[in-house]
Amino acid sequence: DAGITQSPRHKVTETGTPVTLRCHQTENHRYMYWYRQDPGHGLRLIHYSYGVKDTDKGEVSDGYSVSRSKTEDFLLTLESATSSQTSVYFCAISDGGYYGYTFGSGTRLTVV
């Protein structure tokens, strides 16, 4: 009912394999974000989108790519997963108004 879902919730993958995480929203919000959360680092922005096919890099974008072909979906791809990309990934959405972001429940990714 929160209007934002992430899939999968958990994933274990091997080093060197490609991985795609999905964020889906039903709020028709313009802005979408991908963060990673690691102990001692808080939330770090990977990539964000300000419209369909409009994306930009965040502070930790190396090794990640994104795509947004329609308003409701924002995909995060790890082209060749590494152990340093083991993390919890959060998607967030915003309508650009006064209120902050609404976060998804996260995807816990383990790269072995």
Partner 1 sequence: GQQLNQSPQSMFIQEGEDVSMNCTSSSIFNTWLWYKQDPGEGPVLLIALYKAGELTSNGRLTAQFGITRKDSFLNISASIPSDVGIYFCAGRGNAGNMLTFGGGTRLMVKP
**Binding-site member from 70, 83, 100, 112 for partner 1 (CB under 8 A):** 100
* Phi/psi-derived region of residue 47, left when phi > 0, alpha when psi is between -120 and 50, beta in every other case: beta
Q: How many residues belong to the chain?
A: 112
Please identify, using beta-carbon distances, which residue of 33 and 64 lies nearer to partner 1: 33
HSE of 24, CA atoms in CB hemisphere, 13 A: 8
- Please tell me whether residue 42 binds partner 1 under the rule CB under 8 A: yes
- Please tell me whether residue 28 binds partner 1 under the rule CB under 8 A: no
Please identify, using beta-carbon distances, which residue of 36 and 72 lies nearer to partner 1: 36
SS3 85: helix
CB 28 within 8 A of CB 71: yes
Stretch that binds partner 1, among 14-22, 37-45, 60-68, 74-82 (CB under 8 A): 37-45
Interacting residues with partner 1 (CB under 8 A): 31, 40-43, 48, 50, 59, 90, 92, 94, 96, 98-106
